[in-house]
Every structure is written in structure tokens, then in C-alpha cells.
Amino acid sequence: MLNLLYDESNVPEIDTLRAKNYDNIDTSEIPDLKRVGVLTSGGDAPGMNAAIRSIVRTGINSGLEIFGVTRGYHGLWKGEMSQINTRDVSETLQRGGTFLMTARSKTFMTKEGVIKGARMMEVYGLDALVVIGGDGSYKGARALARVGVPVIGIPGTIDNDIASTEYTIGYDTAMNTAMECIDKLRDTASSHERCSVIEVMGRHAGYIALNVGIATGAECLLIPEVPYDFDKDVIRVILDGRNKGKRHYIVIVAEGAGSATDIAAKIEEATGIEARPTILGHLQRGGSPTLRDRTMATLMSAHAIECIKEKRLNRLVVLKDGKITDVDIEEGLEMQKTINQKELDKFYLLG
């Protein structure tokens, strides 16, 4: 049973709290956990269904009861949950999206909403919650942990921007989807001697753009982490290519670094070269997950169940040095990672 530290009559300032760290706690003092909830939150990512499937099957085969929470934290505070069995997750491994669905929740972003979510877990007799999502989802899990709900986080976001882990579920599929689209756009750009400006996802992180740029041999790359000089890093590169006999060009821009439509217009005005924008958008979120996303989702989720059975709680499952492990949720959310100029320079050495 949950041991909630607060209720509706005693709502704390959650930002001033810190989640319980289980590293130095005698596990014999922690009651056995029997009922576990699982939800997906934030943007969907290919491989989330594989993660849910693994939670359900590994959990049940480990003696747990698993409850699926629909529509993320919005469904949590509203009590939208039910028990899931192994048959319920059959034929989900290869499906994109998340069959538990996901939704934004303004209510849960408030301290009162967090307490409502925690209380609803108490109503259903849940002992812990597994959250599959990105950085924002992790912050929601941390808020629950701070009021007494044991949580485990599994990284699920196509942006690969969670600092505590080297890899996030959905990243490989999104990159492959973008790469295949750009390869097709290169064919038509070559036929018409055009410049294709392709906008990929990445509001705050340019990992998709960087790796897809390398994989497709793009001429220019713009990401939010590294400032750029438009004349030097885009116009001059295209003109130098034209003067060497090049007749088509690929410019890749992460959505947080600019608008493909605006950039295409500026290129055409400055160079006289026809430039066409393409925004891949949510196309990158869909599709059947790749082998890597299926296996990573499955193994990360199995590790999450291992954490619960061994009573290592309030943890984030991570890939570190190529191995799946876990870190304390407070420590994990304090970590930072970014793309630096040196990493971007490697892209331009290939030009």
C-alpha cells in the first residue's frame, strides 16, 4: 500500500521537496509491491507499445498485477485505469504509437493535480507507477515521488534529449523515417536542380537533425544548440557547392533552429536557386518501431520490473556505456547533455 505524505487538506509546495532516495534503505523494511500501474505520457514514440508489453508480461510473470492507465497523467488523476493481462498486449510489439494513449494535462501540472493523481493510485490500491515518456513526463513522475508515490521512469521520446541516458525509445525509428524521406526528396531535388530545406523534429535538441544530416550527406545543418551565421553556414556553403558544379542541395534544420519555409525563401532570394521547404512533422513519430527500438524498449522495461521486485524505487532506467542500468530520479533530472560545436564540426568535415 502507498504511504502518501500529503492529501487534499495538506497540499505541499512540491518544488521544495525531494523524492525519497532508496539507495541506502534496508529493503527488508519496505513492504512487498504487488500492484503496479503503467502509463505513457507526452509525445508518443515508436516502441512505447513494446515497452508496455514488456512491463505487462515481465511483471505478471514476476508475480505482479499490472494496471494500465490511459491518457497519461490526465487519465491518472481521473482514475482511467484497469488491470491488463498478457493477452491484452498480444500483437502490440510491432505497432507504433501507444495503445494506452497519451494526453496533456493542465490539471496535473498543478500541485493539487499531483495530489489527485496520487490519491487515485491509493483508490486503486497501486503500490508503484511506471512512467514511459520524456523529460516532462519524468518531472511529473518526480512530483509524484515527492509526495510518496514510488516511481520508475523509462525513457520514451524520439528526441533523445534525456540527459541521464544515452538512448531513448523511439529515436532510432524517427531517424530512419526521416532518412528515408530525405533520400526520396534528394531524388527530386537532383532532377530539378533544387535546394530542399527539410525541417525535422527537435524543438530543443538537434540529435535527429545531426545524425540524419550525416546519414544523408546534407550540405547544411542547423540545430538549436549551436548558433549559426546564415550567410557563412548556409548561403556560402551552397554557393561554393554550385561553383564546384553541384546542382542540388539538402539543408536540414531542427524545428528549434528555424522555419524551413523562411529559410527556403531566404536561400532562393540570396542565390537565385529554387528552394523548396518540407516539414516532416509528426510523420517522424509514427510507423512500426525498428529492431533497436523494440529490443531497447523490451529490455529497459524488463529492467524496470527488476527494480520494482528488488525495491530499488524512484529510479530512471538508462543506457550508460552501452549497458542498461538505473539512476536516482532526482539525480537523473539534474544531469545535462547537449550537442557542442566540436560534434557539429565533424559534420562539416564530411562536406
Per-residue pLDDT of the chain (351 residues; tens, 9 = 90+): 688 888 888 899 999 999 999 998 998 889 999 999 999 999 999 999 999 999 999 999 999 999 999 999 999 999 999 999 999 999 999 999 999 999 889 999 999 999 999 999 999 999 999 999 999 999 999 999 999 999 999 999 999 999 999 999 999 999 999 999 999 999 988 888 899 999 999 999 999 999 999 999 999 999 999 999 999 999 999 999 999 999 899 999 999 999 999 999 999 999 999 999 999 999 999 999 999 999 999 999 999 999 999 999 999 999 999 999 999 999 999 999 999 888 888 898 887
Question: What angle, rounded to 10 degrees, do the helices at 341-349 and 207-216 form?
Answer: 10
C-alpha 134/C-alpha 128 separation (Å) is: 19
State the fold for domain 14-170+289-334: Rossmann fold (3.40.50)
| Predicted local distance difference test score (pLDDT) of residue 174 | 98
| Predicted local distance difference test score (pLDDT) of residue 90 | 96
| Predicted local distance difference test score (pLDDT) of residue 348 | 84
Per-domain boundaries in the chain: 14-170+289-334, 172-286
Strand spans (E) along the chain:
35-40, 65-69, 81-84, 128-133, 151-155, 195-200, 220-222, 249-254, 275-279, 315-320, 323-328
159 is catalytic: yes
State the fold for domain 172-286: Rossmann fold (3.40.50)
Please determine whether the domains at 14-170+289-334 and 172-286 fall in the same fold group of CATH: yes
Report the SS3 class of residue 77. helix
Nearest in space to 144 (alpha carbons), one of 58, 235, 41, 225: 41
Cβ neighbors of 129 (< 8 A, separation 6 or more) are: 36, 37, 38, 39, 69, 76, 121, 141, 144, 149, 150, 151, 152
| Predicted local distance difference test score (pLDDT) of residue 6 | 85
| Predicted local distance difference test score (pLDDT) of residue 36 | 98
| Predicted local distance difference test score (pLDDT) of residue 117 | 97
Looking at residue 62, its amino acid is S
Nearest in space to 67 (alpha carbons), one of 50, 83, 49: 83
Tell me which of 127, 135, 159, 328 is the catalytic residue. Answer: 159
| Predicted local distance difference test score (pLDDT) of residue 349 | 86
Are the CB atoms for 103 and 160 separated by under 8 Å?
no
For the chain, report the end-to-end CA distance as a whole number of angstroms.
59
